[in-house]
Amino acid sequence: MLYHLLYPLHESIGVFNVFKYITFRTFGATLTAMVLCLLLGSRYIRWLKEKQIGQSIRELGPQSHMSKKGTPTMGGGLILGCITLSTVLWADLRNHYVWVALFVMVGTGLIGWVDDYRKVVQKNSKGLSARQKLIWQTVVALAAAIFMYWMRDTPPVLKFPFFKDLALDLGIFFIPFAVLVIVGTSNAVNLTDGLDGLAVGPTITTALTFAVLAYSAGNFVIAEYLQIPFVSGAGELAIFLASTGAACLGFLWFNAYPAEVFMGDVGALALGGALGVSAVITKNEFLLVICGGVFVVEALSVMLQVASFKLTGKRIFKMAPIHHHFELKGWPEPKVIVRFWIVSIMLALATLATLKLR
Ligand code: 57M
């Protein structure tokens, strides 16, 4: 909005010319999202407590979690609000990628909100069934994928890290592939959100890394130099992704151990959807597997655990997702969390390194 209001005035007020630059607006969006979250966090938590929106804890989980009963949840509403406000304030609103990303984030966030509301407010422990969640996530992802396929101005190719000349033209199969990436990432972040700040950390590193990738993909000179696909207009996504990372950083102030608030499915599903759709838009789906490696390992641990138990009656891990396995091995919760953050930072650096290793 600021871009549309102030840039046109740059001929009479020269300083407003700065609004032309994505880098400047990304910086502004980063500050806005983080400061908003920090300023509103305490008030939002107080409101959740007044509404008695507190987390119930399942008996089955690690006993250390019993003390978390009643912790305010649905903190994701604050995260999504800060991301959306900051993006609308600083991005070029004529850019359809920005609206696709916001649509997927808010759409998957609404699914999570219904699940949280049924569980926490209506005290219906089931919430939305896994099947219902999957159906609605697929509907949101399919709408975005079909729109992106129809609006595409670049071929629907799948790029591979390290192999700069290798590209697979997906054709119409871009649509189911995009749905798989978006829904898969949404659920992987959701599964990861099981310890204080555990999902927020990798979301911050992944969102900020993808902000760099989006800016690079949208800049012809940089894309040409790095030999990555040029995606005209993808640069504006850097504003959305930087807002995502910054809002999560602000939320982490309250979600850090011992957490004063959980993000809820409204946050976890939405943040995963946001990362998934951003990877599809910037044609970096495989880089998301590397950068979001913690999410991948968490999801894989569940799949392997369930498959092993069904096939052999034995568990591979003490408990899945894998963060519970380390908890049951005796690692204190903060140690599990910070070690997963360290791995995420290393994976983010490795992701950026692949841009040159090709
Ligand atoms: C999402 N939700 C947390 C919180 C957060 C198929 C199976 C693997 C499904 C999985 C599951 O139910 N996942 C749901 C994980 C929950 O967090 C809430 O949910 C939101 C995110 N969706 O924002 O509102 C609990 O996580 C803890 N938590 C924190 N700090 C945070 O900042 O401590 C969350 C955020 C919270 C709190 O205790 O209540 C969750 O874990 O449910 N199921 C599981 O993950 C369960 N694993 C399991 O059953 N494993 C089996 C099979 C099925 C693989 C096995 O290993 O044999 C574990 N989770 C729980 N209890 N809570 C173990 C049992």
**Cα–Cα distance between 43 and 201 in angstroms, integer?**
23
Please work out whether the CB of residue 265 comes within 6 Å of at least one atom of ligand 1: yes
Residue 357 has pLDDT above 90, yes or no: no
In ligand 1, which atom is closest to the CA atom of 302?
Answer: 54
Given pLDDT bands bounded at 50, 70 and 90, which one contains residue 23?
very high
From atom 47 of ligand 1, which residue's Cα is the shortest distance away? 320
Report CA torsion sign: 67, 69, 70, 76. Answer: positive
* Banded pLDDT at 62 (limits 50, 70, 90): confident
Q: Is the pLDDT of residue 195 over 90?
A: yes
Among 2-6, 144-148, 163-167, which range has the highest average pLDDT? Answer: 144-148
Question: For ligand 1, atom 48, which residue shows the shortest CA distance?
Answer: 320
Q: Whose CA is nearest to atom 10 of ligand 1?
A: 191
Residue-level pLDDT at 30: 98
Question: What is the mean predicted confidence (pLDDT) over 240-265?
Answer: 97
Query: Which of 193, 269, 331 is the pocket-test mutation for ligand 1 (most atoms within 8 Å of CB)?
Result: 193
Q: Which pLDDT score is estimated for 307?
A: 97
- The pLDDT, as a whole number, for residue 70 is 86
Sign for the CA dihedral angle at 111, 116, 118, 121 comes to negative
Distance from residue 190's CA to the centre of ligand 1 (Å) = 9
Q: Is the CB of 333 under 6 A from ligand 1?
A: no
What pLDDT, in 10s, does the model give residues 267-287?
Answer: 999 999 999 999 999 999 999
Burial (CB < 10 A; 0-12, 13-18, 19+), residue 76, is: buried
DSSP 115-172: HHIIIIIS--TT-S-HHHHHHHHHHHHHHHHHHHHHH-SS--EEEETTEEEEEEE-GG
Centre of ligand 1 to C-alpha 194, Å, is 5
Residues 271/288, Cβ–Cβ less than 8 Å: no
Both tokens assigned to 246: 């910054």
**Over residues 32-57, mean pLDDT:** 92
Q: Find the mean pLDDT for residues 199-212.
A: 98
Q: Which atom of ligand 1 is nearest to the CA of 317?
A: 56
pLDDT tens-place string over residues 138-164: 999 999 999 999 988 778 888 888 887
Nearest CA to ligand 1 atom 41: 194
Atom number in ligand 1 closest to CA 318? 56
Q: Among 79, 319, 340, name the best residue to mutate to test ligand 1's pocket (greatest count of ligand atoms within 8 A of Cβ).
A: 319
Q: How many residues does the chain have?
A: 358
Residues 160-178 have a mean pLDDT of 90
Tell me, using a 6 A CB cutoff, whether residue 301 lines ligand 1: no
pLDDT value, residue 250: 98
254 lines ligand 1 (CB under 6 A): no
* Residue 324 pLDDT greater than 80, yes or no: yes
pLDDT tens string 341-352: 999 999 999 999
The Cα–Cα gap between 189 and 268 comes to: 6
pLDDT bucket at 37, cuts 50 / 70 / 90: very high
What pLDDT is stored for residue 73 in this prediction?
93
Residue 326 has pLDDT above 90, yes or no: yes
The predicted pLDDT at position 132 comes to 96
pLDDT, tens only, 87-126 = 999 999 999 999 999 999 999 999 999 999 999 888 888 8
